[in-house]
Chain A
Amino acid sequence: MMSSLKHVNPTVKGIKESAHSVLQSLAAHVTQEIAQVLAVCLHPELLGNKTLPLDVRLRAQRLLEVCEGGSVGSYTDSSGIPHIRQSIADFIIRRDVGVPSYANNVFISAGSQKGLMVILKLLASGEGDTQTGVLTPMPCPHTLPTLLDDAGMTLVPYQLMEDQGWAVDLSELHRALKCGRGHCNPRAIYISNPGNPTGHVQDWKSIEEVIRFAAAERLLLMVDEVYQDSVYGQGKEFLSYKRVLFEMGKEYSETVELVSFHSLSSACMGECGLRAGYMELVNMDPEVMYFVDTMLCTDISTPVTGQLALDLMVKPPKPGDHSYDTYTQEILLIRATLSQNAQRAHEFLNDLPGMSSQPAMGGIYLYSRLHLPSDIIQKAKIVEVEADVLYCQMLLEEEGVFLGAGCQNGETTGNHYLRLCILVPTDTLEKVLAQLASFHLRLIDKHPPTDR
């Protein structure tokens, strides 16, 4: 062979494997309204099909009007169809109780990760100890470390506080930043709210603290708010970073550079396969924003069906629309299932010896601590994998259940965790929990645990 491993881009070789190819295929569902509207947009002959609700057909007609040549097969502007960028801006204004939002600051991309990659690429500079660093929560979304590797940036970890339900701790942020400055140039902080995979939902005070910290330390703030529509913890509500920012006075609201991400691959939509998301850029240098569009150009444009679904996500059926009742029921069902599942899984896992979990307040995961027997930890060392990876492999082999290992979420404290997706039908969850318990109890029985 002419090209061998030594000729492969070192950045590519440096990317750590991330096992998410067997993702939540169970989580897929399409709300009926979106499925119908997209079907009509794909095959406009259906505009005359009276078995489809009128509001669906009118919506499809409106959306086809904003597609070039009236076809979902045309390219669009690289940053997204203007009409849809405006829909998103309107949604943000409604959500944030009047805080202004402008279509020109909204950038649509093929999945929120693509948008994140663009921002990371723009930020990335330097090498060695001048390399750009990003403060990253531990645990973090399991795809994030790979993205940072790919962009050539340094991951500067800050620990979330497990015993406080995975809350953010300001002194820990300061410690992490100080440490990071010793070997790189930290210029941004990443946070997800609701937390991925922790399910922690930040309150106003916590968000303010982070914003103040970012402002004082001159860090660009990147906030993953993809699970904003699934908050179920008692007394919890989703607060957007932007909303809090704008209540902090001009000193902050006119200066803090904030990028927030949302996506179709959220809890209530679950339209991951359609690949569309958006980011809103606040207080970004306009000259830099020009390059955001240029970078998005290399993909030419985001898939149109995805963009249309985004429009449907941010502008759902209204009372009086034929689809309203079905839509409302579907969303309520998803939210109820999620809440129920979160509660059930948390109680169940906490009851198992050798496991402890913080209750999830939002999001689609339960992140549970594993207190593994020392024999298992030893075994893992010998075969050179993380102990939680070994646990998950054994679970897969013995029970056919695939769960995520905490080390994929960047866990570095030497503790072990399990990541369970709770966006599944309730009876599926019961099956999974039963199989997990069966496996786990067998394991504990064979190897007494080190501690509880």
Chain B
Amino acid sequence: MSTQAVNGSVSRGKVLTLDTMNPNVKKVEYAVRGAIVQRALQIEKELKEGVKKPFTEVIKANIGDAHAMGQKPITFLRQVLALCSYPALLEDNKFPEDAKQRARRILAACGGHSIGAYSASQGIECIRQDVSRYIEKRDGGIPSNPDNIYLSTGASDAIVTMLKLLVCGEGHDRTGVMISIPQYPLYSAALADLAAVQISYYLDEDKCWSLDVTELKRAVTAARQHCNPRVLCIINPGNPTGQVQSRQCIEDVIRFAKEEHLFVMADEVYQDNVYAEGCKFHSFKKVLFEMGPEYSSTVEMASFHSTSKCYMGECGFRGGYMEVINMDPEVKAQLTKLVSVRLCPPVTGQALLDLVVNPPQPDEPSYSMFMKERTEVLAALAEKARLTEKTFNTVPGIICNPVQGAMYTFPRITLPQKCIDTAKEEGLAPDMFYCMRLLEEEGICLVPGSGFGQREGTFHFRMTILPPTEKLKDVLQKIRDFHVRFTKQFS
């Protein structure tokens, strides 16, 4: 309390220190932006100041940011957003009519006809309606109710909101949340922040990172000893692994969720990013409804999407939504209340989302350019996915599963014992040690597998496949050479 004031002379210790800080915050980590990225930024600064290095630029292949790596935005999307921002441009005949029509519609739905106004907390109504229609079309007509759509500040916002809603209980009764190993570290960070119990289930690296229900069963059964498992998180297509779940697998997961009374959170932000032959995106909701009313009217689910990935790559807008299915009305009321606390998601993001779910149609002027750009982006990613897998598999000591979807590769690396020992001495995870070396020697920034979780004794790194093809070839070559050198050095 204020013993210092009572003493008269005020002690100059701070009110807010690591010791007096919220203990949960200390456990929050986000590897995608952690220590290695800090070092990468430092190196960039040094390069700018003219310090000599074995490379001239830092390639940040650590974060799924397409535009930062040179991917161009889709013309139609940006035209509409410019019109929304400065409506006087509606008079400019350089803008196509379909872009203007959408801008007018969005502006009409905004307060005061301006994207500067707050919107309703759940998101602009006509945009939620458009999202519903998109989902219905995508899922072969299965109905979607706009009331079940919550627009959000990127998918991350919606994911954290749902977790917050569902975490309760004390001690043995504390909510347990199942998440894959490896996983996208937003989940583990959020669970640490909420002091929820993380229940890890391992994806099968030998079977192309597929999900096995027996493993889910093992994990949940063990977890019941010390917590109350209530949520199952799936990322499909996967991050960092890129695996695309088969339809059968999704059915098995839904069946499992029903048996174990789990709320399913389906993170589907990479739904357009599917490359491998024979792979297809199946939405969890669609599969659920095709399993008949026994499942479709009981299994509780939330699915998430965003404007940051797919062919748009518009991370900076923070657009996204979630659809909740079979939620108890009283619980839903609490959810609606919870989202109102943060006022509203950014309106530019909402507008962008509207365009993503409402793209140019075949009979509209912008259609052919839009489809051309979209196809080019996705084709380039598919090509880079194949190139990456092929190249890494030529390196002795690197095993790379096919990149079936998403934007990343998560190859397994063999590290010599000497490297493991040296890393230990320096207090670093061996794959962090490896990645730091790579950064210092080649200026390539990756994220060590330890940031995502992996089986004990295995090592990985996550690299994005986003750099332009020529640069990517160069990066792959450099990593190959580095790996050989490194292995030799530490034998």
A contacts, CB < 8 Å to B = 1-5, 7-13, 15, 17-18, 20-21, 23-30, 32, 35-36, 38-40, 42-43, 46, 49, 51, 67-69, 71-76, 78, 110-111, 113-114, 121-125, 143, 146-147, 150, 181, 185, 187-188, 215-220, 255, 257, 265, 270-275, 283-285, 287-288, 291, 294-295, 297-306
Is the Cβ of B67 less than 8 Å from the Cβ of A15?
Answer: no
The reply to whether B5 and A275 contact each other, CB–CB distance below 8 Å, is no
Q: What is the number of contacts between chain A and chain B, taking CB atoms within 8 Å?
A: 294
B1, B21, B85, B318: the one within 8 Å of A122 (CB) = B21
B350's nearest neighbour on chain A, judged by CB, is A273
A17 to B334, CA, bound (A): 10
A273 and B15 form a contact (CB under 8 A): no
Whether A69 contacts B69 by the Cβ 8 Å rule is yes
| Complex Cα spacing A194 to B1, Å | 30
B12 sits at the interface (CB 8 A): yes
**Complex interface residues of chain B between 114 and 158 (CB less than 8 A to chain A):** 114-121, 153-154, 156-157
Tell me if B16 and A284 are in contact (CB < 8 A). yes
Residue ID in chain A nearest B79 by CB atoms:
A43
Contact residue among B10, B117, B262 (Cβ-Cβ distance under 8 Å from A273): B117
With contacts A13-B334, A275-B347 known, what are 20 further pairs, Cβ within 8 A? A2-B298, A4-B330, A5-B331, A8-B331, A9-B164, A12-B164, A12-B165, A21-B120, A30-B85, A30-B114, A46-B82, A75-B315, A123-B22, A185-B1, A215-B10, A218-B10, A218-B15, A273-B348, A304-B316, A305-B346
A181 to B2, CA, bound (A): 10
In the complex, the chain B residue whose C-beta lies closest to that of A220 is: B15
* Residues of chain A within 8 A of B348, CB atoms compared: 273-274, 303, 305-306
Taking the complex as formed, is B489 at the interface, i.e. its CB lies under 8 A from any CB of chain A? no
- CB of B164 within 8 A of CB of A273, answer no
Pick the contact of A17 from B114, B160, B337 — CB < 8 Å?
Answer: B337
Q: Which of A28, A124, A257, A299 has the most CB of B within 10 A?
A: A28
Contacts of B222 in A (CB 8 A): none
Q: Are B337 and A12 neighbours in the complex by a CB distance under 8 Å?
A: yes
Would you call B346 and A78 a contact (CB within 8 A)? no
A216 touches B10 (CB 8 A): yes
A220-B81 contact in complex given A25-B112, A75-B65, A113-B343, C-beta closer than 8 Å = no
Q: Which B residue sits closest to A43, measured CB to CB?
A: B82
Are the CB atoms of A294 and B116 closer together than 8 Å? no
5 closest Cβ pairs, A-B complex: A25-B111, A28-B117, A273-B347, A68-B68, A304-B316
**A interface footprint on B185-209 (CB within 8 Å = 1, 0 otherwise):** 0100110010000000000000000
> Does A8 lie within 8 Å of B334, measured CB to CB?
yes
Partner of B116, one of A28, A42, A69, A295: A28
Q: How far is the CB of B248 from chain A (nearest CB, A)?
A: 24
- Cβ contacts A to B, 13 pairs, < 8 Å: A4-B330, A11-B164, A39-B86, A46-B82, A68-B65, A69-B65, A74-B315, A75-B315, A218-B2, A220-B15, A273-B115, A298-B28, A299-B153
Residues of B266-316 contacting chain A, CB below 8 A: 298, 300, 312-316
Chain B 1-18 per-residue mask, 1 if CB under 8 angstroms from chain A, else 0: 110110000101011111
The answer to whether A1 touches B153, judged by C-beta atoms less than 8 angstroms apart, is: no
Contact B18 A42 (CB under 8 A): no
The smallest C-beta distance from B169 to any residue of chain A, in angstroms, reads: 8
Complexed CA–CA distance, A188 and B2 (Å): 12
Q: Write out, one digit per residue, whether chain B residues 219-242 have a CB within 8 A of any chain A CB (1) or not (0).
A: 000000000001000000000000
Question: Complex formed: what's the CA distance from A23 to B119 in Å?
Answer: 8
Q: Are B342 and A114 in contact (CB under 8 A)?
A: yes
Complex Cα distance, B22 from A121, in Å, reads 7
| B20 at the binding interface (Cβ < 8 Å) | yes
Looking at the assembled complex, report how far the CB atom of A403 sits from the nearest CB atom of chain B, in whole angstroms: 17
B345 at the interface (CB under 8 A from A): yes
Q: A217: which B residues are within 8 A, CB to CB?
A: 2, 5
B78 within 8 A of partner (CB): yes
Given contacts A3-B300, A68-B67, A78-B33, whether A291 and B118 have CB atoms under 8 Å apart is no
A42 to B1, CA, bound (A): 51
In the assembled complex, how far is the CB of residue A175 from the closest CB belonging to chain B, in whole angstroms? Answer: 15
Interface residues of B in 22-44 (CB under 8 A from A): 22-23, 25-26, 28-30, 33
B314 CB contact (under 8 Å) in A73, A122, A219: A73
Q: Are A18 and B15 touching (Cβ within 8 A)?
A: no
Name which of B4, B82, B157, B166 has the most chain A CB atoms within 10 A of its CB. B82
Query: Are A5 and B22 closer than 8 Å at their CB atoms?
Result: no
A139→B68 CA distance, assembly (Å): 45
Contacts of A124 in B (CB 8 A): 22
Complex Cα distance A14/B109, Å?
32
B343 touches A5 (CB 8 A): no
- Find chain B residues with CB under 8 A from A39 CB: 82-83, 85-86, 89
Q: Shortest beta-carbon distance, A278 to chain B, in Å?
A: 15
- The listed residue (A113, A125, A143, A303) touching B317 by CB distance below 8 A is A303
B21 touches which of A4, A46, A288 (Cβ 8 Å): A288
A43:B300 contact, CB within 8 angstroms: no
Give A36 to B16 CA distance when docked, in angstroms. 42
Cβ-based interface call for B73 (8 A) = yes
- Chain A nearest CB from B295 CB (Å) reads 12
**B456 beta carbon closer than 8 Å to chain A:** no
**B371 located at the interface, meaning its Cβ lies under 8 Å from any Cβ of chain A in the complex:** no
* Contact call B328/A5, Cβ cutoff below 8 A: yes
B16 with A220: CB separation less than 8 A: yes
| Residue in A1, A3, A9, A42 whose CB lies within 8 Å of B78 | A42
Which residue of chain A has the shortest Cβ distance to B72 in the bound complex?
A71
* Complex contacts, B337 vs chain A, CB 8 Å: 12, 15, 17
Contact B347 A274 (CB under 8 A): yes
Q: Are B328 and A24 in contact (CB under 8 A)?
A: no
Q: Give every chain A residue within 8 A of B164 (Cβ-Cβ).
A: 9, 11-12
CA distance A283 to B22 in the complex (A): 19
Flag if B165 contacts A21 (CB, 8 Å). Answer: no
A21 near B86 (CB under 8 angstroms)?
A: no
Q: Considering only CB atoms, which chain B residue lies closest to A271 in the complex?
A: B116
Point out the residues of chain A lying under 8 angstroms from B82, CB to CB. Answer: 39-40, 42-43, 46
Given contacts A3-B230, A125-B23, contact A76 B5 (CB under 8 A): no
Interchain nearest-CB distance for B452 vs A (Å): 15
Nearest opposing residue in chain A for B28, CB measure: A294
Alpha-carbon distance A46/B95, docked complex (angstroms): 11
| Residue among B21, B112, B230, B313 making CB contact with A28, cutoff 8 Å | B112
Q: Is B70 an interface residue (CB 8 A)?
A: yes
CA distance A318 to B204 in the complex (A): 61
From the candidates B67, B300, B334, name the one contacting A73 in the complex (CB within 8 A): B67
Asked if residues A38 and B300 are in contact (CB atoms below 8 Å), the reply is no
What are the interface flags for B252-272 relative to A under an 8 Å C-beta threshold, 1 for contact and 0 otherwise?
Answer: 000000000111000000000
B344 at the interface (CB under 8 A from A): yes
Among A10, A25, A146, A270, the most chain B Cβ lie within 10 Å of the Cβ of A25
Residues of A within 8 A of B402 (CB): none
* Best-buried of B4, B15, B68, B82 by chain A (most CB within 10 Å): B15
State which of A51, A73, A215, A274 has its C-beta within 8 Å of the C-beta of B316: A73
* Interchain nearest-CB distance for A288 vs B (Å): 5
A69 touches B112 (CB 8 A): no
Q: What residue in chain A is nearest B17 (Cβ atoms)?
A: A285
Residue of A nearest to B258 (CB): A2
Interfacial chain B residues near A75, Cβ < 8 Å:
63, 65, 68, 315-316
B363 within 8 A of A: no
In the assembled complex, the CB of B210 is this many whole angstroms from the nearest CB of chain A, namely 26
